[in-house]
A and B are shown apart, each in its own frame.
Chain A
Amino acid sequence: MRKDQLERLIANSLQMINQLPGKYNNEYFYHEVLQTVVAFLPNADAGFFFMYDHKMGKLLIEAAIGYDSASYRKTRLSVGESITGSVYQTKQTRLVNAQIDVIEAMAAMTEENKVYYEEALLADNYPEAAVSFPIMSGEEVLAVLTINSFTASFDESITLLLDEIAPYLSVLCAQYQLKIKEAALEKELELTYNALRNEHQQLQRTTDLYNNLASLMSQNKSIDQMMQAINMSTKTPVAFYDELLYPIASFGKSAEHRLPDNFLASREVQYTLSVKKWQLISQVNESILVMPVVGAQTVIGFLCAWIDEESFNDGNRLLLEYSASMLGLELMKKRSIEETHRKLAGDIFEQLITGNYSDDVVRQAKNLDLDETDYFAILICEGKLETTGFNQYFIKDSWTKWIQQAMKVAGMDGLVTQRGMDVIAFLTVDGEKDKSFARNKLKSFTKQLEQIPFPVKIGIGRVYQGFVHVRKSYADAKQCIEMLNKKKSGKVLRFSDGGIYRLLLDHDKDELDLFVHDHIGPLLECKTKKDKELLDTLLAYVTFNRDLATVTNKLSIHHNTLYYRIKRIEESLHVSFANHDEWFDISVACKIYLFLTE
């Protein structure tokens, strides 16, 4: 080939090669490259595009023209094997320009490769010529192109042409590989970005909650505010209960978010108590995630979250676990303070009821917000404790908590402590207020106390101003308990509501029995039903203070019947109810009778 022809050919070839970058997105890019080379190389009509597989250590065919793909794809050339293998090894262009030479050069192939090659041939015979050249990437062979002609030999000068265009093809192939790598890296980057973003979000939420809770705790904010922060962070309704399931605080919770009736006895909670780890109580609509709040050694509460298992962000479980730890610390701190207060209050109480009214006591009381000039009344709560030890503590603790809650609701100030088997409360009212104000407040608080759900008796002493009278109020409260025990009905008694019963407590039963029998004995000795009616009529007549309408209504009798029965009673007892002294004695006897028999 003349030099000008060669230069023109090179120029034309480069022009064709310049079209190739537009085909980067074509997944058959290597085929495009091969096709381009076959197109501009005079006499070329077939060829292979080989690439080296580093994992296998073999040259594999990426693309081919003029061969049967089912067969050529099986070819694996070792380094140095055949024309292509030798070009890979020497990194030099090789021209084999006669069929006999081609056959000879390929004779060194393995039996398998030879079979695959021959099966891939579309022509009847081996090609007339072959030229093979490397595509380099630096010092490394990136690929080897082996081009054949089945019709004629190649011009000797095409090696010059190939040496000229090979660097361009190298750049193109390297760029294409970078494109593929870039696409893979982009995919990897997206995966990394998403993973990092998810992890970051979780870390950020954890950090935010940690900072929030730590800050609230350091500022001595309430558990309520901590629960609000937990709810905001987890977007989940949450409630905090103590070990007896008294609600301490909740946030985002509605009436539907209740604990199941058998919560403490459930297998999940029993397991939680045993291993001190969270459990999930699966329910039809919303499940409950139960986080144990662990104190020094035992479970002291439960942080419960109502979740939809399908949509719940499982990372929130970690936040709730962490929150439970913080709540545990806060609850222990709170209880420790309460316990110290209770102990101090107990000490002061002991000193006051033993008459030890010293400056030290006054100072200590002041530390507990008890002022010497305030109004005081003592509350005693006692009940039957059928259990012992640990459970007894929990029962008394539940009374204490209930009374504290009732004081909170009624706006009643004071301190609650425990003394022996009893729960004791100092009820206080500001000393600058009127005494009647203090009495009224105590009255409304008594109504609140009547709702107490435990089998207890509560006695409340009279209101006194100053510490010095606390002993008296305590004695009053004790008497109230005694009255309640004798009456065998009612749970709460305020000393000032005790009426005549206060006096009766000072007398023994025989003496009282004697008084009753002296005045209404004939009615008590009656045997018949009719006689019993007379006693019931008299008791109602006294109880309702001779109000005819109320008594007849209560006994469901006609007023003439009542007149008749009253007449009979007066005759039996030999008294006249018109006589004030006799009526008074009969009234007192009836009261004592009720006191003894109720």
Chain B
Amino acid sequence: MTFSIVARCKETGNFGAAVSSCFPAVGAYSPTIKPNIGIIASQGWVNPKLGPVGMTYLEKGKTANETLNTLLMKDPGRELRQLIVMDHFGNSAVYTGVENDDYKGHFVGDQYAVQGNLLTGEDVLTVMAETFEQTDGLLEERLLAALVAADKVGGDKRGKQAALVKVVAEDGFPYVDFRVDDDDEPVQLLAKMYETNRNVLIDRYYEWVEAVKTGVKFR
């Protein structure tokens, strides 16, 4: 009932994800992203605890594969879930449980991975991956472009309700974190939200972070 993409920017090292689902407020459950550490993105029958727990393994230096294996061992409902773990290096390990509904699948690329279930077809994942690879620019814009493209070719078989795009840069300072919790066209609205508001925080993000850290007014 969800399709998503996670990625690491080769230039900045930032981690980010974009998700669309026919599930209200999907952003409240997943993904978990920590700068310089990695991403845990769980979907299907989401287990929200996998994110914070998995992040502790990544923080200890475990690789994506090791973290995924450990998380699966401790999750009795593993066959109901899809799970991407991306580590510090941008390597991804992905698991698609057999009890997810078709079409389901995942694909691991260079510094990115896509996954989806209850999709209209395999092309949702293919288009999402291809669009990400072929789009230039900031990580958040590449993620959004991929999500929009996947949405256009069919996306979620059951319909649409929520979407998110999230990129982290500095720990504790939200960078890109836009969410649509309930809308008929969540992905389109998400893209619009991004375009409308990017200049508020995103374009002067580091200036804002520095201002907060040094205690000056941010104008």
Contacts and interface: CB of A to CB of B under 8 A. Distances in A.
Interface of A: 53, 55-56, 58, 60, 73-74, 76, 112, 116, 191-192, 194-195, 198-199, 202, 275-277, 279-280, 309, 312, 314-315, 317-318
B76 A280 contact: yes
26 contacts: A53-B206, A53-B210, A55-B206, A60-B210, A73-B214, A74-B215, A74-B216, A76-B210, A112-B216, A112-B217, A192-B89, A195-B61, A195-B63, A195-B88, A198-B62, A199-B63, A202-B66, A277-B98, A309-B73, A314-B66, A314-B69, A314-B72, A314-B73, A315-B69, A317-B69, A317-B72
B140 interface: no
Nearest to B75: A280
A190 to B, nearest CB: 9
B61 A56 contact: no
A194 B61 contact: yes
B63 A198 contact: yes
Contacts of B69: 314-315, 317-318
Interface residues of B, number: 24
A309 B70 CA distance: 10
A209 to B, nearest CB: 16
A199 B98 contact: no
B87 interface: yes
B73 A312 contact: yes
B207 interface: yes
A131 to B, nearest CB: 27
Contact of A277 (B62, B79, B210, B219): B79
A318 B65 CA distance: 11
Contact of B61 (A191, A279, A309, A318): A191
A192 B63 CA distance: 10
A184 B184 CA distance: 47
A275 B206 contact: no
Contacts of A314: 66, 69-70, 72-73
A466 B165 CA distance: 83
B65 A202 contact: yes
B99 interface: yes
A191 B60 CA distance: 10
Given A191-B61, A317-B73, A56 B207 contact: yes
Nearest to B97: A277
A275 B98 contact: yes
A73 B201 CA distance: 22
A74 B63 contact: no
Interface in B141-155: none
A76 B207 contact: yes
Nearest to A70: B215
Given A76-B207, A76-B210, 20 more contacts: A53-B206, A56-B206, A56-B207, A56-B210, A60-B210, A73-B214, A112-B216, A116-B216, A195-B89, A199-B65, A275-B79, A275-B98, A279-B76, A280-B73, A312-B73, A314-B72, A315-B66, A315-B69, A317-B73, A318-B69
A112 B214 CA distance: 13
Contacts of B98: 275-277
Given A275-B99, A317-B69, A191 B217 contact: no
Nearest to A191: B61
Interface in B166-219: 206-207, 210, 214-217, 219
A137 B173 CA distance: 32
A67 B65 CA distance: 52
Interface string B40-72: 000000000000000000000111011001101
Contacts of A116: 216
Contacts of B63: 195, 198-199
Contacts of A317: 69, 72-73
A110 to B, nearest CB: 9
A112 B62 CA distance: 46
Contacts of A56: 206-207, 210
B206 A191 contact: no
Nearest to A279: B76
A74 B214 contact: yes
A286 to B, nearest CB: 14
Nearest to B78: A277
A222 to B, nearest CB: 30
A320 to B, nearest CB: 11
Contacts of A276: 98
Contacts of B210: 53, 56, 60, 76
A191 B88 contact: yes
* Residue of B73, B76, B89, B206 ringed by the most chain A CB atoms within 10 A: B73
Which A-B residue pairs are the 6 nearest by beta carbons? A314-B69, A55-B206, A74-B216, A314-B70, A195-B63, A56-B206
